[in-house]
Amino acid sequence: MTLTPILAALNPIAIHLGPLAVHWYGVIIATGVIIAVTLAVREGQRRGIKPDDIYDMILWALPAALIAARLYYVVFQWGYYSQHPGEIIAIWDGGIAIYGSLIGAGLVVFFFCRSRFIPVWLMLDVAAPTVILGQAIGRWGNFMNQEAFGRITSLSFLQGLHLPGWIINQMFINGAYRQPTYLYESMWDLMGFVVLMSLRHYPQLFKQGEVFLSYVMWYSLGRFFIEGMRTDSLMLLGVIRVSQLLSVVLFIGALIIWIYRRRQTQAPTDYLDGNPFRERAKLSN
């Protein structure tokens, strides 16, 4: 027997500014980005990276991440968007893929760091914990839009998770209660943030770049299992969940890179006393 929720779903619109509707989805994503950038700037200064370098990088990385995230989603939903091209830019209704944003931002980080003579691995180590924290926050945008949910479940199951009533109520979607997979991923990402921040306190054990590689393995591991619970996965050939496939590739790839770099006699180590790459660039001019 299906139970009807007592309260209506939360309003996905935060505020109206004249004819403009500001969605909670955008507000939450923006909040995650601001917190992530703030923490990255603080850590970057400690590692010898100038705040202006991070701000300049963000000015390029954010648009690239947003565009790549939307393109990634649209490509794997082309059957729909080919018939509704006017909705391709409607990101305020959701439909951006985290893996797409990571690919877009990652390319910007690589080329930006090379142009500024900043070690790429160093920048990735600085960014990794803040990115996964931003992801943990951003998943609540999915909550407000009632998306990224899982299979049908029961009210008693959700109550057994000791969730507050407003979360349980929001998980009543299309006439049934749903698994809160957005919440599972948010909690996994939050735990990942704690783990990655802890790794920073042991520079004698972890070489430069290994915080980032740990992020890749942590996130892809959790995403693989959580993606299998979702009902809105992007599919390849109609049978393969794209995010699960990419999670496997990324996990194995990060592990291979970790092992390979550990076997190198001159593997880069972390440092806090400025940027030797920048000084080398000055000397070469």
CB atoms within 10 A of CB 84: 10
How many Cβ atoms sit within 10 Å of the Cβ of residue 103?
17
DSSP conformation class of 285: -
Q: What's the residue count for the chain?
A: 285
Quote the DSSP letter at residue 8: P
223 in a known ligand binding site: no
From first CA to last CA, the distance across the chain in angstroms is 75
Query: What is the Cα–Cα distance from 135 to 103, expressed in whole angstroms?
Result: 14
DSSP for 158-194 reads HHHTT--HHHHHHTEETTEEE--HHHHHHHHHHHHHH
Match 């000015």 to its residue by tokens: 59
| Among 63, 51, 1, 9, CA closest to 172 | 9
**Annotation: binding site:** 139
